[in-house]
Amino acid sequence: MPPRMKATVTVTLKNGVLDPQGRAIESALKGLGFDGVGDVRAGKIIELELADGTSRETVEAMARQLLANTVIENFRIDMP
Amino acid sequence: MKCAVIVFPGSNCDRDLADAITKVTGRAPAMIWHRETTLPDGLDFIGIPGGFSYGDYLRSGAMAARSPVMQAVVAAAGQGRAVLGICNGFQVLTETGLLPGALMRNAGLNFLCRDVRLRIENSQSIFTSHYAAGDEIVLPIAHHDGNYVADAATLDRLEAEGRVALRYAEPVNGSARNIAGILNDAGNVLGMMPHPERVIEAEQGGTDGRRLFEAALMALA
């Protein structure tokens, strides 16, 4: 069956986990002269094409088993 | 004494690790490709080498941890077989859940490739019994994601149970409590960022890594 629906999984670092990449972005923004930049956190977005009718539970299982490392990351699922 | 080294696409320390095992035991390990679903019978020791398995896609070690062969490795670890993960191998072990915590990007963001001083914290494990607690050794590191992270309760438990096997003598990559290597609760799985297999003969510039293999492989012989 051709995939027809889309889901987006957004993976972010948990609060309290130090984010060296976010820090580097923060200091680069300040270096470019952008004032008032506070904490910066970097994450990733994973877009999935799925067979129609795929359940949110299935996507959650994908996120738990592979897409996010729940030791250090949270995830959010957006799907129709 | 039967040893194996797991090989993923992108592993690049697998032959060094095999060489170290061969030099210490006199017998070459089986090289096991990641698509295998079973391991040879009667294995005593499984090495998971350094490198960039699956190009470090998604997270370092994430893809390798879900490869068919790792299910067999997890099962073997559960049966008490010795498992040593070095560098990317350590990342793979945390991703499988055999070891707690995670390895994140180095705090300074740089890839670090140099010799570091380490302190042996626990000399009771099968891997470290040929060192003395408090020994300072020098091993090379070569990693981008060696910044060990775990919640405070996990760190406290690791410390209390003597599962911090090695610690950096000074801050290197931002690792929590300068942790460089940890053991699982049963003590048969060790993950470490430094490369002991790169310093087993004087020609390599040092021999501080040799005792780790001698200890692990002789304890099992």
pLDDT of residue B220: 74
B58, A65: Cβ pair inside 8 Å?
A: no
Torsion on CA atoms B81, B84, B89, B91, rounded to nearest 10: 90
- With an 8 Å Cβ cutoff, is B62 touching chain A? yes
pLDDT tens per residue across span B180-206: 999 999 999 999 999 999 999 999 999
B104, A72: Cβ pair inside 8 Å?
A: yes
Mean pLDDT of A47-65: 96
Chain B CB contacts of A67 below 8 Å? 58
Domain interval for residue B165: 3-220
List the single best residue of A25, A46, A48, A69 to mutate versus B (max B Cβ within 10 A).
A69
Averaged pLDDT score across all residues of chain A: 93
pLDDT of residue A1: 59
pLDDT of residue A4: 84
Of B94, B101, B107, which is closest to A20 when you measure between CB atoms?
A: B107
Considering its fold, how many domains does chain B have in total? 1
Domain interval for residue A57: 4-78
How far from B2 is each of B21, B152, B184, CA to CA, in Å? 10, 38, 21
Residue from B45, B148, B40 nearest B90 by CA: B148
From A19's Cα to the closest Cα of chain B, the distance in A is 8
* Minimum CA–CA partner of B105 in chain A: A20
pLDDT of residue B196: 98
Q: pLDDT truncated to tens, each residue of chain B (221 aa)?
A: 899 999 999 999 999 999 999 999 999 999 999 999 999 999 999 999 999 999 999 999 999 999 999 999 999 999 999 999 999 999 999 999 999 999 999 998 899 999 999 999 999 999 999 999 999 999 999 999 999 999 999 999 999 999 999 999 999 999 999 999 999 999 999 999 999 999 999 999 999 999 999 999 987 76
pLDDT of residue B207: 97
Considering its fold, how many domains does chain A have in total? 1
Contact between residue B53 and residue B70 where contact means Cβ atoms under 8 Å apart: no
Contact between residue B196 and residue B17 where contact means Cβ atoms under 8 Å apart: no
Secondary-structure percent of chain A, ordered helix, strand, coil, rounded to 5: 30, 30, 40
pTM tops 0.80: yes
Q: What is the CATH number of the domain that holds A41?
A: 3.30.1280.10
Rounded to two decimals, the ipTM of the complex is 0.85
How far is C-alpha B29 from the geometric centre of its chain's CA atoms? 16
* Minimum CA–CA partner of B95 in chain A: A69
Q: What is the CATH number of the domain that holds B129?
A: 3.40.50.880
- With an 8 Å Cβ cutoff, is A71 touching chain B? yes
Identify the active-site residue in B87, B121, B143, B144: B87
